[in-house]
Structure 1
Amino acid sequence: MTLQNRVLPTGEIRAIPARGTFMGNRGILHNDDKTLGASRWKTKGWVTCVLSFKDRPKRELMAEGRYTELFFLDEAVALAAGHRPCSECRHDAYLAWREAWTKATGTRAFAPDMDACLHKARVRRDRSQVRHAAVADSLPEGAFLLWRDRPHLVTARGIHPYSPEGYGAPLTRPEGTVTVLTPEPTIAVLRHGFRPELHQSATGPAS
């Protein structure tokens, strides 16, 4: 049975067999039969975690009474969906994120404040994704834009079409204003130095 636990850059959570490289946590979202319930979050602290940490045993997915494990192709997808690095299992990434957030806002960053700001910028009460407009050339590496009805990752090489299995070859950035999937506060963090970990299909040689 393929569980409904794969998060897309457009915010949906789908049942997809392809394996992700990062895990996420928003609280307990599943039922006892391991189907996803109606809720898409139980906390504003949406974090991105490593698949394994120290000597902790492998988790049973969607176990009763434990948080719902969500999965992402890479960290850029997690950021587009509204997550941030976990302060425990990804402590160095969290510190880099917090430093970039502080630079972007001019105020010292604390997790509850960042989470509250992100929550307003990533999702509406009806669970739809908050999107915004920006000039394509202004977007930093690691951002996601919607181009021709498909999510694309921005890198220095261009924009890479997304699929749950990986990215396609880079295309030339479009001109003018585009729809951006990555929340505005996260775009600011990317502009101030945070570098997400990308899937190998986006970092390897162009085909």
Structure 2
Amino acid sequence: MPAKTWTLLGADGRPFTSDRPGTLGGHRRNKLYGRLDCRSALQALARGGYQAQRVFFLDEATALAAGYRPCAVCMPERYRLWKAGELGVQVKPDRE
């Protein structure tokens, strides 16, 4: 039986196959990431239209490097730091 693999996004925003599961989920079009148990993401998944845009990251550093921002719902403190420019990435005007 082949080993289990997962498709994750790398720091360059491109998918790759990993032998480790992602620790964070994200939304490709909205360029945000959050916890896998985020109530907002789970509600969107239950409604249906979200799954095609779902991506996964190995860790927060990779998500940030790929240009994604923290979710304000499940990661409010990380979102506040990102918004203040304290996560080492610039806030883009179209994302404020």
Matches within 5 A, 1:101-140: 113-115=93-95
Report if the CA contact (8 A) 1:46-1:115 is conserved.
Answer: no
Report if the CA contact (8 A) 1:47-1:85 is conserved.
Answer: yes
Seen in structure 2, the aligned counterparts of structure 1 residues 87 and 64 have a Cα distance that, compared at 3 Å, is: closer
Give the aligned partner of residue 49 of structure 1. Answer: 34
Q: Which TM-score applies when normalising by structure 2?
A: 0.66
Of 46, 66, 84, which residue of structure 1 is paired with 2:50?
66
Please list the CA deviations of residues 95-150 of structure 1 after superposition, one character each: whole Å capped at 9, or x if unmatched.
Answer: 1111226xx98xxx7x8x2538xxxxxxxxxxxxxxxxxxxxxxxxxxxxxxxxxx
Q: Give the alignment's Cα RMSD to 1 decimal.
A: 3.4
* Structure 2 gap ranges (5+): none
Find out whether 1:85 has 2:70 as its counterpart.
Answer: yes
The structure in which a higher percent of residues are helix is 2
How many residues of Structure 1 are paired with residues of Structure 2 in the alignment? Answer: 87
Q: Residue 115 of structure 1 aligns to which amino acid in structure 2? A: R
Query: Which of structures 1 and 2 has the bigger CA Rg?
Result: 1
Give the aligned partner of residue 12 of structure 1. Answer: 14
Displaced runs of 4+ in structure 1, greater than 4 A?
Answer: none
Q: Could you say which structure has the greater relative contact order, defined with CA pairs below 8 angstroms and 6 or more residues apart? A: 2
Shift of 1:87: 1.4
The 3-state SS of whatever aligns with 1:100 is coil
Question: 1-side partners of 2:49 and 2:17: how far apart?
Answer: 21
Please list the CA deviations of residues 23-71 of structure 1 after superposition, one character each: whole Å capped at 9, or x if unmatched.
Answer: 1112xxxxxxxxxxxxxxxx3x3101101135x58x68xx963243211
Report if the CA contact (8 A) 2:5-2:20 is conserved.
Answer: no
Q: Which TM-score applies when normalising by structure 1?
A: 0.34
Question: 1-side partners of 2:18 and 2:27: how far apart?
Answer: 18
What is the aligned-residue identity percentage?
29
* Structure 1 gap ranges (5+): 27-42, 117-207
